[in-house]
Amino acid sequence: MKHILYGVFITLVLFACKSKTKETVVDSLVISEVDSTSLLIQKFKPIIQGAWVKSDYIKKVIVTSSPFAAADKATGITYIEIDTANIKGERLVAGVSYNNHEGGEIIIKFIKGETPETIQADSAELGYSVENGDTVLTLTEVNDAHDKVTTRYIRALNKPGKKTGNGMDYLINKNLFAGSYAMTDTIGKVRQVILTENGQITGITGFRTYYAMNDFIAGPMNNLDLLIFNLYAKDQKDYAFKISGNTLKLFDTEPTPDSSALITGKLIYTLIRNK
């Protein structure tokens, strides 16, 4: 009987030891995963923070002085807004714009990707590189042909907000419009006008804000570069614009007979940038 009890005791001890060993291994794995997540957050948090604009799109906007001319580059995810204050556990929801038209989101996960410079983002990988001292964000996806496609983004703002506005609009405004001008109207009257990077305007009576149209996906009469004043307000006013050197010209527009497109009408304002 003593031998039987002794054997049972030994078995229980061995089982307990194995259970503790398994618990220790599981605990170690959990701690390791938590540590890994914390390290990735610590590394990537300052790098990915901010508003990011598709690089080839904004470069073409700047070169052509025309969002409409650059519309062929406004494909896929054109804008990413990342606020790292919203990290929850290993996840972060980032707002995105598709084709400059439709809003959406991607889920960034602080789980290591294929390289030390990448982490997971939905079915893609979010990464970065440093070029000429500037950080470039990259999003690598697998297309329908099963090829890896990498899109590059440049930082527009560290933290977008009410004072700065959307990062896409900010970069367009900064590179195409922001500055002080001498403006001449249709009767030859000259006045000083200021356009700011965050879309504010002073100097034209009744105009408070401006917005350069960059969504050319949907609808008829969407074929010209438009500068929209007081967007969504009752007194909204749209003008076609053309930029040549230091001169910004604003034109009335009118629809074609079938209302399928807009045509440029009378020149209303000529703004010459002050030196």
DSSP assignment string, 81-109 = EE-GGG-BTTEEEEEEEETTTEEEEEEEE
d(CA 37, CA 112): 8
Q: What is the pTM of this model?
A: 0.87
Q: Average model confidence (pLDDT) for the chain?
A: 90
What pLDDT score does 35 carry?
73
CA angle, corner 166, sides to 163 and 213, nearest 5? 120
β 190-195/201-202 pair status = antiparallel
Q: What is the pLDDT of residues 262-272, one digit of tens each?
A: 999 999 999 99
190-195: strand order across its sheet: 201-202, 190-195, 179-184, 262-273, 247-255, 237-244, 226-229, 210-212
Q: What percent of the chain has pLDDT over 90?
A: 82
- Whether residue 13 is predicted with pLDDT greater than 50 in this model: the reply is no
pLDDT greater at residue 20 or residue 120: 120
Q: What is the pLDDT of residues 81-111, one digit of tens each?
A: 999 999 999 999 999 999 999 999 999 999 9
Classify domain 48-160 at the CATH class level: mainly beta
Structure tokens at 268: 């209303």
| Domain definitions of the chain by residue range | 48-160, 178-273
Q: What is the pLDDT of residues 194-250, one digit of tens each?
A: 999 999 999 999 999 999 999 999 889 999 999 999 999 999 999 999 999 999 999
Mean pLDDT value of segment 244-260: 98
Q: What is the pLDDT of residues 161-183, one digit of tens each?
A: 766 779 999 999 999 999 999 99
Q: Are 23 and 101 in contact (CB under 8 A)?
A: no
DSSP state of 15: H
